[in-house]
Structure 1
Amino acid sequence: MKFNTIYTLCLAAFAMTACSEDIDLGGVGTENIEFPQGGVVYVTDAQGKRNFSTVEFRDHITSELNIHTQTPRATATAVKFQYDENVLTEYNRKNNTQYKALPANLVQFANDGVVTLEAGKTLAIAEYTLTSDGSLDQTETYVLPVRASVSSGDAQLGSVDATRLIYVRDLSGIPDCTKYVPGPDGELVPGVTVFSCMEVNDTNPLNNLSFTLGNEGVNKGKCLYDALIIFSANVNFNKETGRVYVFCNENVQALLDYRDKYLKPLQDRGIKIILGLLGNHDGSGLCNLSDATARDFAQECKALADAYGLDGFFFDDEYSDYGQYNLHLYYPGFVPVSNDATSRLVYEIKKANPDRITVAYAYGGTWSLKEVDGVQAGEYCDYALHDYGGSSDLTSQYPGMPKSNQGMHSQEFNQGRFASEYGLNDMVQKGYGSHMIFAMDPYRSNVSRQLDAMDRCARCFYGDKIVFDGIKYPKDWK
């Protein structure tokens, strides 16, 4: 089935709503905000985020909400969390969205949702459990709407923490790409996340299905790759209409139009589909859009993701001829190139797609991102992937991003830039949990070296081995 009609309808809906009020996230802020001393407690999720909380689960999962205070309290404070569908109803009304509430019977708060921050402590943990009953659509995102209130004690709850939306997907029945390794206490924990950034002008993405892990155990048969980055759609500017838009060349568009053939089989195995966004030599790009243009562009990205079932976006600041065109001097909607503009665009795309993944290529204008509207970079940007061979810590460039989401020692298979066993082991030992491989293609002449490189990944990341099933998928679209 072709999806051009769906996308056109989505864009029409986008055009009608693009000038509406900004999306209200129902609580904006980060741990970097200066809270009044002595009387305020605030809430984060298990990843330390105050915004953009997402949970994916199969069968059931126990997660947590954390209560924090800047300084220890002299007296205990109890906070109660409860399911409140009115929180989502109000959000949908304000933002013209149609998210569905996670059914209340699928969530259970421990201790009836009450957690106590004891005197002298700065942290308390409230657990909740989600349990599948088989009724949820695996392709749809639901929202767990939560209201929080202080039930005892004299502390105050930050106003932005009184409500939160947790975006939930029930993936029961869909294979899981997550590979598990023994944690410090012997328990199984998620291992390294591997991104396949694929040049799709000449490579079929179905090739990502051909490489799995082979040892007996929990990871046997799981795909090596956790996510496909389609490289790449483009940021383009139409001088006649004055609009910045997403351009897909004939190869990218073919994969989207025929997603059931080229993309859905990957998602059915648990692989995420992420669309790259890249400059295209016309002066527009990730780093020179005004705030209003960024919001407009973000809504188009949402329409695109909704139409084609995308799981996220990848930001790569290359091939934008900013200096040659200086668009900000001649056209409204542009600003001088700045990291502020780059950060704003990534933030607005995450804001419009809170349930989708955002990934930055730590290169050029996306080498670092700044706080936007009180939200630190590590909250609105989920992953940062180094340029080839890079291995320096990225925390200062993406404040708030955990090491597990920082990608080290990226490889470029077409150019023969392979990571060493020492480098891969070193990143694991230091706690870095993400990795990118660019241009994997079993049709290239160096396929044996590619297989060796993937086997090193399997060995260093998971103590496993790679299995190539021998199936190669040619480029078979026009």
Structure 2
Amino acid sequence: MNQNVRNHRFRKGIAGLGALATAAAGLFVGTAGATADTTEPVDPQLAVYVEVNSNDLANVADYTLAESGEAAIDMAMIFAANINYDGEKAYLHFNERVTETLENAQTQIRPVQAKGTKVLLSVLGNHQGAGFANFSSFEEADAFAAQLEDAVDTYGLDGIDFDDEWTEYGANGTPQPNAQSFGWLATALRDRLGPDKIISLYAIGPTYTTTDFSLFDAAGVLDYAWNPYYPTYDAPTVPGLDDRGRLGAAAIDLSNTSAATAADFAERTVADGYGVYVAYNLTATDQSAYLSGITEALKGESTVYRAAPGDTTPPTVTIKSGAKYTKGDAEDGYKRISFGLHDEGQIDRLYVNGVLKDLTDDRWSDLNFVKSGAFGAVKGENTLQVLDVAGNTTEVSFVLTK
């Protein structure tokens, strides 16, 4: 299974041939079919697949938007669990690395979710004949849906992604695909998960090409359907799921698609009103420069990698000692007073009684020889406010006697 999981998406050369063959078979798999316009502005979602056989899902949490600090990635797919066959029925299988990812949810999944990213389990065929498109009854489909529900509940996941590849329908005496199977499965899963979990369709294989989507409430059951071929821009057609805000036309491989193509697809996604942009193979390396070309178009912000925590420490303000700088004391008041200023995040500016004094941004600064008539100071009570570049403020009150 591992070899297939690693290699099955590197089909750039045959993707176009697959699309042509599909069209020749009378199936409309393309942007032209997704013609409905959304009535509300679309907030495009960046959906990323992580090959957990070789990368940690937790890497997703390393990417945030530069200005808002929000998650750069909206949906992260654990790639991949499998639908297997035991000789009688389909069952959900986790390989060793998927198992580790799920069982170590506190370090692999929760940090990603804490950033605001939804985590889905992607489920893939495994050469054994069991697939999403060949259940013979609703009861069979519901039995598998129950296993998916258990995975979502047990590991605190946000949904399920269906990817019908490498199934080999007919193997081990399994049935061929039929038009109703996926509708049964998706409907059963939605009934079990309720309305708040995500169900997405990686639009490939008989689950996409054989299913009669008019036989079930596709719009009420599925949240998203997206293009599976990297690197192409070609939205799937799912009858009933006509809202472009729930479709993805752009599909890129983060390791093999040029940054220029990725950015162009993002601009087209926004211009065309599609709601999902799909990227495959987020690794442990810093891919923020590449992702910035996508997020700047989708979200109006660049992406940063492992951003430092925001500065929340206010400046330090001390009164300089010695008659050269300061005469008087806090109890009796000052004839003149001087201050030393320090902030690791750099001092930016200060105000004396609301009068601005702009400073050169630096870790160390001074305000010397403050007396009545200087820097906005007056005889009597005064207020000094010192701000660092992050906007943190320290306020000091002092009294001048003359």
- Alpha-carbon displacement from aligned partner over 1:89-112 (angstroms, at most 9, x marks no partner): xxxxxxxxxxxxxxxxxxxxxxxx
Do the aligned residues in 1 keep the contact of 2:161 with 2:200 (CA within 8 Å)? yes
Total equivalences in the alignment: 266
- The letter of the residue matching 1:345 is L
Distance (whole Å) between structure 1 residues aligned to residue 141 and residue 85 of structure 2: 13
Distance (whole Å) between structure 2 residues aligned to residue 228 and residue 299 of structure 1: 22
Question: Structure 1 residue 284 and structure 2 residue 130: aligned?
Answer: yes
> What aligned pairs does 1:321-336 form with structure 2 within 5 A after superposition?
321-328=168-175, 336=176
Q: 1:246 aligns with which of 73, 81, 92?
A: 92
Cα drift, residue 423 of structure 1: 2.5
Distance (whole Å) between structure 1 residues aligned to residue 109 and residue 235 of structure 2: 33
Partner of 1:14: none
Question: Structure 1 residue 317 and structure 2 residue 164: aligned?
Answer: yes
- The letter of the residue matching 1:406 is L
Cα drift, residue 200 of structure 1: 0.3
Do the aligned residues in 2 keep the contact of 1:200 with 1:252 (CA within 8 Å)? yes
Question: Structure 1 residue 461 and structure 2 residue 298: aligned?
Answer: yes
Question: Structure 1 residue 385 and structure 2 residue 226: aligned?
Answer: yes
Partner of 1:274: 120
> What aligned pairs does 1:18-57 form with structure 2 within 5 A after superposition?
none
Distance (whole Å) between structure 1 residues aligned to residue 258 and residue 177 of structure 2: 31
- Alpha-carbon displacement from aligned partner over 1:252-306 (angstroms, at most 9, x marks no partner): 1111111111111111221111011111111111111122210111111112211
- The letter of the residue matching 1:457 is I
* Secondary structure, counterpart of 1:253 in structure 2: helix
Question: Structure 1 residue 343 and structure 2 residue 183: aligned?
Answer: yes
- The letter of the residue matching 1:313 is I
- Given the superposition, is the C-alpha separation of residues 389 and 378 from structure 1 closer, same or farther in structure 2, using an over 3 Å criterion? farther
* Secondary structure, counterpart of 2:190 in structure 1: helix
- The letter of the residue matching 1:458 is T
Do the aligned residues in 2 keep the contact of 1:246 with 1:301 (CA within 8 Å)? yes
Question: Structure 1 residue 203 and structure 2 residue 55: aligned?
Answer: yes
> What aligned pairs does 1:401-412 form with structure 2 within 5 A after superposition?
401-412=242-253
- The letter of the residue matching 1:270 is G
> What aligned pairs does 1:218-237 form with structure 2 within 5 A after superposition?
220-237=68-85
- Alpha-carbon displacement from aligned partner over 1:21-69 (angstroms, at most 9, x marks no partner): xxxxxxxxxxxxxxxxxxxxxxxxxxx9xxxxxxxxxxxxxxxxxxxxx
* Secondary structure, counterpart of 1:410 in structure 2: strand
- The letter of the residue matching 2:98 is V
> What aligned pairs does 1:95-110 form with structure 2 within 5 A after superposition?
none
Distance (whole Å) between structure 2 residues aligned to residue 453 and residue 403 of structure 1: 25
Cα drift, residue 432 of structure 1: 0.6
Question: Structure 1 residue 425 and structure 2 residue 271: aligned?
Answer: no
Distance (whole Å) between structure 2 residues aligned to residue 317 and residue 366 of structure 1: 6
Distance (whole Å) between structure 1 residues aligned to residue 86 and residue 170 of structure 2: 18
Cα drift, residue 317 of structure 1: 0.5
- Alpha-carbon displacement from aligned partner over 1:430-465 (angstroms, at most 9, x marks no partner): 11111111111133xxx5xx4343011111112221
Distance (whole Å) between structure 1 residues aligned to residue 258 and residue 185 of structure 2: 31
Cα drift, residue 414 of structure 1: 3.2
Question: Structure 1 residue 262 and structure 2 residue 262: aligned?
Answer: no
- The letter of the residue matching 2:276 is S
* Secondary structure, counterpart of 1:367 in structure 2: helix
Distance (whole Å) between structure 2 residues aligned to residue 401 and residue 379 of structure 1: 12
Cα drift, residue 221 of structure 1: 0.5
Q: 2:198 aligns with which of 343, 351, 357?
A: 357
Do the aligned residues in 2 keep the contact of 1:343 with 1:372 (CA within 8 Å)? no
- Alpha-carbon displacement from aligned partner over 1:351-384 (angstroms, at most 9, x marks no partner): 22123110000111233553466x4312211101
Do the aligned residues in 2 keep the contact of 1:377 with 1:401 (CA within 8 Å)? no
- The letter of the residue matching 1:223 is A
- Given the superposition, is the C-alpha separation of residues 343 and 453 from structure 1 closer, same or farther in structure 2, using an over 3 Å criterion? farther
Identity %: 25
* Secondary structure, counterpart of 2:250 in structure 1: coil
User: Which structure has the larger Rg?
Assistant: 2
- Alpha-carbon displacement from aligned partner over 1:313-340 (angstroms, at most 9, x marks no partner): 0000011121443413xxxxxxx21242
Question: Structure 1 residue 451 and structure 2 residue 299: aligned?
Answer: no
RMSD: 2.4
Q: Structure 1 unaligned segments of length 5 or more: list them.
A: 1-47, 49-182, 329-335, 472-478
Partner of 2:276: 434
- The letter of the residue matching 2:180 is D
Distance (whole Å) between structure 2 residues aligned to residue 427 and residue 251 of structure 1: 33
Cα drift, residue 204 of structure 1: 0.7
Partner of 1:27: none
Do the aligned residues in 2 keep the contact of 1:344 with 1:372 (CA within 8 Å)? no
> What aligned pairs does 1:128-147 form with structure 2 within 5 A after superposition?
none
Output the TM-score relative to the length of structure 2: 0.61
- The letter of the residue matching 1:412 is D
- The letter of the residue matching 1:297 is F
* Secondary structure, counterpart of 2:233 in structure 1: coil
Cα drift, residue 417 of structure 1: 5.9
Output the TM-score relative to the length of structure 1: 0.52
